[in-house]
Amino acid sequence: MPLLNNNILTLMALVATLPALAQTATPPSTTPANEQVIVPQVDRRDIQLPRYASNDFSVSLFAGTYATPNFGSSAVTGLRLGYHITEDIFVEGSYGKSKVSDKAFAQIFPNGGVLPAREVDLTYYNVMAGYNVLPGEVFFGRNNAKISQGYIVAGVGSTTFGVQKRQTVVAGFGLRVIFNRWFSVQADVRDHIYSLDILGKLQSTQNLEISAGISVFF
Contact 8, 15 (CB under 8 A): no
Contact 114, 99 (CB under 8 A): no
Cβ-based burial of 192 (10 A; exposed 0-12, middle 13-18, buried ≥19): buried
pLDDT in tens, 2-43: 545 555 666 566 556 655 555 555 555 555 556 666 766 766
Single-letter code of the amino acid located at 21: L
Evaluate if residue 80 carries a pLDDT over 70: yes
The count of other CB atoms within 10 Å of the CB of residue 153 is 21
pTM tops 0.85: no
Cβ-based burial of 67 (10 A; exposed 0-12, middle 13-18, buried ≥19): middle
Q: What is the mean pLDDT of residues 177-194?
A: 95
pLDDT in tens, 119-168: 889 999 999 999 999 988 888 888 888 989 999 999 999 999 988 899 99
Could you write out the DSSP letters of every residue in 142-153? SSBEEEEEEEEE
HEC per residue, 21-70: HHHHCCCCCCCCCCCCCCCCCCCCCCCECCCCCCCCEEEEEEEEEEEECC
